[in-house]
């Protein structure tokens, strides 16, 4: 079971893609049912970047993971870069960089105040059939809660918003409860 979540976190860390060229890949993804892994977005009332309609995805072809949803700049400054993290109740997780995950840049574009941008996982989202559910082991009870949190934002003027301390506290908390549940 830990292997499954390590795979999730490894892919989320290395493979989630925002705003990439839609011609780059035709990988097929399914939306992960909340009854298996519940994705929640951390409440961050002072954060200028709001994540909306976020969904956890899994590749139907190779089991890799992704995230899709909307990001909304509810602040007063254009956003050049953002970094989010996903931490799970299994004590695993990782850091993500906004838009072009490999470079941390917003593909040369800014997210302007009031603007909402779709963050897409590379590929096509398809329906989760009974056969795919079994193949991808998306059956049975809930396995984890995954929390998506904004860690850092760099604005166009160079100023920074940071909530890294909350992200680190969440990571520690999930690590502690994961360790205590595995001892039993």
Domain ranges of the chain: 2-183
Whether 143 contacts 4, CB under 8 Å: yes
Contacts of residue 183, defined as CB under 8 A and 6 or more positions apart, other chains included, come to: none
| pLDDT value at residue 16 | 43
- % of residues, the chain, pLDDT over 90: 49
| pLDDT value at residue 174 | 92
Residue 27 binned pLDDT confidence (cut-offs 50, 70, 90): confident
0.85 exceeded by the pTM?
Answer: no
Does residue 128 surpass a pLDDT of 90?
Answer: yes
Decide: helix, strand or coil at residue 43.
coil
Longest dimension (CA), the chain: 51
| pLDDT value at residue 96 | 64
The pLDDT tens digits for 5-19 are 444 443 444 344 334
Whether 152 contacts 83, CB under 8 Å: yes
The pLDDT tens digits for 34-76 are 999 999 999 999 999 999 999 988 889 887 667 788 999 999 9
| pLDDT value at residue 106 | 57
């Amino acid at each position: 079971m830990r292997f499954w979540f390590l795979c999730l976190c490894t892919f989320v860390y290395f493979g989630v893609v925002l705003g990439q060229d839609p011609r780059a890949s035709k990988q097929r993804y399914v939306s992960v049912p909340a009854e298996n892994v519940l994705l929640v977005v951390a409440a961050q009332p002072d954060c200028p970047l709001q994540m909306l309609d976020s969904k956890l995805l899994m590749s139907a072809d190779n089991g890799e993971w992704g995230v899709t949803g909307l990001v909304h700049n509810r602040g007063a400054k254009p956003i050049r870069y953002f970094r989010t993290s996903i931490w799970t109740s299994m004590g695993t997780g990782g850091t993500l960089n906004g838009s072009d995950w490999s470079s941390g840049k917003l593909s040369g574009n800014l997210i302007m105040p009031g603007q909402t941008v779709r963050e897409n996982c590379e590929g096509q989202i398809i329906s989760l059939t009974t056969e795919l559910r079994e193949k991808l082991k998306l059956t049975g009870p809930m396995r984890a809660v995954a929390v998506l949190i904004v860690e850092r934002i760099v604005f166009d003027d160079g100023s920074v918003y940071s909530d890294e301390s909350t992200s680190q506290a969440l990571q520690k908390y999930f690590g502690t409860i994961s360790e205590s549940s595995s001892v039993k």
